[in-house]
Amino acid sequence: MQKKLRSQVKLKNNKLHTIIIRRLKIVFLLLIIQAEVSYAQTNKAYPKFSWDKVPLVFHFRKHDTLLSLKEAKFISERSNFMVFEKAHGQLPGGAFTEQAILNDAKVLKKLNSDMKVIFYWNTLLDYPFYEASSVFNDHPEWWLKKSDGTIDFKRNSTLKKYDLSNKKLRKWWVKVVKKAVNNPHIDGVFMDAFNQVKAPFNLKNWGQEKFDAMNRGLDALVNETNAALDADKITIWNGIRSTRHRVVGNDYLESMGAVMIEHFGHFHSASPQSMLSDLELMDEAAKAGKIVVFKAWPGFTWLDKEQMALPLEDKQQIAKQHIEFPLAAFLIAAQEHSYFIYNWGYRMDFGSLEWYPELDKPLGKPLGDYEKNGFIFTRKYEHASIYLDLKETKNTKITWH
């Protein structure tokens, strides 16, 4: 009897041991896969980086047609990193955004074999410029509703929103990305509107339960997108933003390859403290090995009617006069894989192909990290010395040498 009992105990122990070993193998395999994805997004997938001059990324849409050969050459000769916005290449009766981005991606890669091209895809708003939008509109159960049951449209528009708490909606969303990105011509996806999903003001329309479900859905969407894309693809989230009421940004350092700072020094992010927070978050993300896209503004945007009514020559002059401060801020926190954008909107004709003398100057590698005293920063590069004053911005100076 005791022999039989010992035999049964031994058998149970062996079975338990086998189960534990199997589970440990699964965990170990998952860790390897995660490490491989992380490695890909910090090495193989990234654009080739250089400190020779200010590192640039282009991010815009050409709203009425595809790029001309002259425009494509301008981009490919100055950068190897391009994000095409929603509604790119919208010829009347022509291609949808998906096809337009693919067409111009092929052109840019032919001109520059090192070019990395990114596909824009919003995580919240349904834009009708995409062919995929017709599928979304055939599924009213995917449309985000307010707590009173009515459709939650984007403010002052008829744009519907994605209900990220719906698994089938997310499956469709990821399928669109996979189709657009898993090819040799597109290198990743720009996932916009994270902060719009997470904004506390949504509680009023959604209620706490739906708000929490939407945020869980966004987190799930990130993981599901990573699982669907090839390992050598870049995922960019938007992003870092500091205001008087809220500081957000580095929630996805472990799971995504790049982050954008969209509103530095403008909109509600122009206070010294907001800009300081943005730079600290940029520094954290960059030192974690992530791509950081730093979008700067020339003191006005496409929303400013008075400035937009000025002749192009006047807007160009304003932009030339204002570039030193945001460029200095970028150079204070920049690390390898940090990129600068400077224009007044998201269309190509909103200053996206303007050029400035500072962008042609030799820069060289940074000679160390920044030094900080309150709201004043300094930093040295091989060919430039940076003095940044977030309070008295006019005192900011880049000395080129």
Report yes or no: 170 and 217 within 8 Å, Cβ to Cβ: yes
Per-residue pLDDT at 21 exceeds 80: no
Mean pLDDT to the nearest integer, 227-245: 93
Amino acid at 316: Q
For residue 9, the model assigns a pLDDT of: 43
Per-residue pLDDT at 389 exceeds 90: yes
Question: What sign has the CA pseudo-torsion 85, 184, 255, 22?
Answer: positive
Strand locations in 21-113 (E): 58-60, 81-84
Q: SS3 of 88, please?
A: coil
Percent of the chain clearing pLDDT 90 (strictly above) = 85
For residue 39, the model assigns a pLDDT of: 38
Q: SS3 of 241, please?
A: strand
For residue 244, the model assigns a pLDDT of: 87
For residue 44, the model assigns a pLDDT of: 75
H/E/C letters for each residue in 165-225?
A: CCHHHHHHHHHHHHHHHCECCECEEEEECHHHHHCCCHHHHHHHHHHHHHHHHHHHHHHHH
Q: How far is CA 389 from CA 81, 107, 271, 347, 363, in A?
A: 30, 41, 12, 30, 20
For residue 224, the model assigns a pLDDT of: 98
Mean pLDDT to the nearest integer, 203-211: 97
Split at pLDDT 50, 70, 90, the class of 95 is confident
Q: What is the chain's alpha carbon radius of gyration, rounded to the nearest angstrom? A: 24
- Lowest pLDDT segment from 5-19, 57-71, 329-343, 376-390: 5-19
Mean pLDDT to the nearest integer, 138-146: 98
- Rounded CA separation 143/64 (Å): 29
Per-residue pLDDT at 22 exceeds 60: no
For residue 18, the model assigns a pLDDT of: 53
Q: Which two tokens stand for residue 396?
A: 């900011």
Q: Cα-flanking dihedrals φ and ψ of residue 159, to 5°?
A: -75, 125
Look up residue 343 and give its DSSP letter.
-
Per-residue pLDDT at 116 exceeds 60: yes
- Lowest pLDDT segment from 35-44, 239-248, 365-374, 383-392: 35-44
- Rounded CA separation 143/140 (Å): 5
For residue 200, the model assigns a pLDDT of: 95
Per-residue pLDDT at 379 exceeds 70: yes
Mean pLDDT to the nearest integer, 379-388: 98
* Angle CA 356–360–362, to nearest 5: 140
For 174-194, write each residue's pLDDT tens digit: 999 999 999 999 999 999 999
- Rounded CA separation 127/97 (Å): 10
Ordered by where they begin, the domains of the chain are: 54-361 (3.20.20.70)
- Lowest pLDDT segment from 39-43, 75-79, 147-151: 39-43
Q: Which residues have a Cβ under 8 Å from the Cβ of 88 and sit 6 or more positions away?
A: 61, 62, 63, 97, 100, 101, 104, 120
Q: How far is CA 278 from CA 297, 299, 352, in A?
A: 14, 17, 23
